[in-house]
Amino acid sequence: MTSFSIHGIGVSNGIAIGKAHLISNALLEVVQYDIDIKNVSNEVKRFDEAIASVKVELNKIKSQLPSNSPGELGAFIDTHIMILSDKSLSSMPRAIIENERCNAEWAIKKQMDSVVNQFDQIEDQYLRERKQDVIQVVERVIKILLGHSNQIAVKNQEKLTILVAHDISPADALHFKNHKYAAFITDGGGVTSHTAILSRSLNIPSIVALQNARALIRDNDLIIVDGTQGIVIVNPSLDIQKYYKQLQDLWGNEQEKLQRIKTKKSITKDGSPIHLFANIEVPNDIVSVNASGATGIGLFRTEFLFMNRKDMPDEEEQFLAYKKVAEAMGKKPVTIRTLDSGADKQTALNNKKISPNPALGLRAIRLCLSEPKVFMTQLRAILRASHFGNIKILFPMLSSISELRQTKLILERAKASLRKEKIKFNEKILIGGMIEIPAAAISADIFAQELDFLSIGTNDLIQYALAIDRTDDAVSHLYNPLHPAVLKLIALTVKSAHKYKKSIAICGEMAGEPKLTKLLIGMGIEQLSMHPSHILRVKQQVLSSDIKNMKASVHRLLNLNEVDKIETLLKRINQLN
């Protein structure tokens, strides 16, 4: 087998060696070809066998669901079995094969297109969206016809499996968190795509924006993923395998050494404490938070409680989730961000409001203010949970002071409703705002006066400041946290927070990047919140930092206007001890 390499953007460091498992977008692989008349009956038989095989798969999945699984899971599988049994998909493609003498894959895809077109004519939004169930069922059948597996990986083989996909959606990312894969590689994505964020949270190598990996790599190909250099090597020679195995062992040794500083306090050499917090998405992430030695949770992304479902979580369900995290953390702070739905994080709430430009549309706090009942439900749940731990509330994507005041008014109404019902909550709960829109950074002085703390969301701040879609691999290389305009917006926010003696944190991906640690704390950032897997590497940088010694260099860096000069000076700052 010929060995070759593919280059992309490395978004999570490390070396992985394993077998490729293609996450198939089977619909993209279907091509039409003619079937000889004498082979038509065999093609129909191949189609019938694929239908039967998928039925067996679905019934097996249903039988293996844990007894405590939500009822919706079983219902979801039943719906797919029902769709598969409908004659429009189980019988009509046969007629297409016989009449047009075409391959089975093309026949069922053609029939699917016809069915989906009928769904598109339905006025009811919910029923119209059920076309996705049809598409998912057909894709399972096509995978069988193409010879792809519908199974992700055998449990005991996951650590040797490298997922290869065109892209991974936030819903997929949430599902994959329950597995232990060796690496992720995708054709699309950027440095802050959900694939990148997921892989960094799992501390596994990842490369995105490979463009054609999905087409060039085959299932079970042996591949090497060098997340540091952004290189994928397919079917490597024995010598290359040996070389990368040595690099992999060195990387493993470095990770073991980091464990030695787990219990050390995060204090700079000149005595400044830097609080290292963890970002989480679901309550079960608490396990990795405690394992990391984090001093609290700086960002609980609550939108993941709302995803992958057709309904909205009620107050009790949310309360129990927030309470579980608060109790698990004890006296350590837990910052809960209110629903940041929209853009690439879709929920049932977004399905009602289709935006032509989701990143700039009705999302985050704007969406919550447009749905006061949903917002009130979440605020009541958070407030109730505040009685059981050290909870703080964080409002996302604020853009104006009037927006903040509307938000605070709804919060006060939530508090009043709980008082009326004699339900206990922390009356002195702290509230903060995400600074992730340039307008908010420029107005940080005003926000700092009305909030208890500020948190900079660098992912969106960079996206909006540079007019770059961070999920678009065509422009993702332009996404640069060291752009002078981005650094000036951060510096402006820090200055405002310090002026009014308010705490200031960074909870975007910049917080978990070790090469930026000294720069950020030199700029005056007191708190860094990141995925738990990054905490020890960042702590290592904190322990070797001397803020007084770096101050002049950092000041000089902030006055530079060219990225290459900024990067050169940053390297010197990182070498200071």
The size of the chain, in residues, is 577
3-state secondary structure 291-353: HHCCCCEEEEEHHHHCCCCCCCCCHHHHHHHHHHHHHHHCCCEEEEECCCCECCECCCCHHHC
Q: Which amino acid is it at 409?
A: L
**What distances in angstroms separate CA 184 from CA 163, 225, 508, one per listed residue?**
5, 8, 21
User: 49-53 contacts: CB < 8 A, separation 24 or more?
Assistant: 50/104, 50/141, 50/144, 50/145, 51/84, 51/89, 51/90, 51/141, 53/144
Q: How deeply is 481 buried, as exposed, middle or buried, from its count of CB atoms within 10 A (0-12, 13-18, 19+)?
A: buried
Annotated catalytic residue 102: no
**Catalytic residue of the set 102, 275, 368, 507:** 507
SS3 of 128, please? Answer: helix
Positive or negative torsion for Cα 137, 139, 141, 147:
negative
457 Cα distance to chain centroid? 14
Q: In what order do the strands lie in the sheet with 161-165?
A: 4-7, 231-234, 222-226, 15-23, 161-165, 183-186, 206-208, 9-12
Residue 562 DSSP symbol: -
Do the Cβ atoms of 471 and 344 come closer than 8 Å?
Answer: yes
SS3 of 475, please? Answer: coil
113 Cβ contact list (under 8 Å, min separation 6): none
**Catalytic residue of the set 194, 275, 531, 534:** 194
Residue 150 DSSP symbol: S
Structure tokens at 218: 């085959």
Annotated catalytic residue 507: yes
At 199, which helix (H) or strand (E)?
Answer: helix 194-202
Cα gap 432→443, rounded to integer Å = 15
Catalytic residues: 194, 507
